[in-house]
Amino acid sequence: MDKVILFIALSLPVIFFSKKNLFEPRRHGYTRFFGWECILVLFVINYGHWFKEPCAVNQIVSWVLLIISAWFVTEAAVRLSQARKRGIVRVDEKLFRFEKTTELVTSGIFRYIRHPMYSSLLLLVWGIWLKHPLAVTLPVALFASWLFWLTAKHDERECLEYFGSSYSDYMTRTKMLIPFVF
């Protein structure tokens, strides 16, 4: 029962921040919401194992994934915050402020992948799953991974609409989620 209460408590802010997109299935915020909820499911199930057996291989790999996840999201946030042309406002009430870029970001981590924040969430999913890898939670991790891939696809459609051919060219030079791979 405690885990259900914890899940509900953690879901409330996710619902609040996602409310603009909850009824927009073709927007990236819709699938992102369900991906975040999957992360919460994994966290609530695994939080009791976060620091157990700290030298176990799964724990070490988990921490590596979580650290890389934190680096990806931090690097992406810094780059995105710098991607606003003075005097130009991107009007889209469905986007978070940091998503309202007016310039295409192609520097830093964006030189290698187009969606470092979704990559960060993928790494977070697998980092949390590895804290206590169970066959019963594997489908949740796989479903979350699919949701974040789908979120990236929706986001690409939105970026193509806003940035046009410059984004299309950018897509040919970079990978979607995993540097040098995919």
Residue 32 resides in a domain:
yes
Spatial contact of 60 and 127, defined as CB atoms under 8 Å apart: no
Tell me what pLDDT residue 93 has: 63
Residue 180 resides in a domain:
no
Residue 157 resides in a domain:
yes
Residue 179 resides in a domain:
no
Residue 113 resides in a domain:
yes
CA distance 60 to 131: 9
Alpha helices per DSSP H over 47-137: 57-81, 116-129
**pLDDT digit of tens for each residue in the chain (182 aa)?**
899 999 999 999 999 988 888 888 888 889 999 999 999 999 999 999 999 999 999 999 999 999 999 999 999 988 888 766 665 555 666 665 666 666 888 999 999 999 999 999 999 999 999 999 999 999 999 999 999 999 999 999 998 998 899 999 999 999 999 988 88
| Rounded (10°) CA dihedral 121, 123, 126, 132 | -100
Residue 55 resides in a domain:
yes
pTM for this entry: 0.89
Tell me what pLDDT residue 45 has: 96
Total structural domains within the chain: 1
Residue 181 resides in a domain:
no
Tell me what pLDDT residue 99 has: 62
Q: Which domain holds residue 118?
A: 2-173
Tell me what pLDDT residue 81 has: 80
Residue 182 resides in a domain:
no
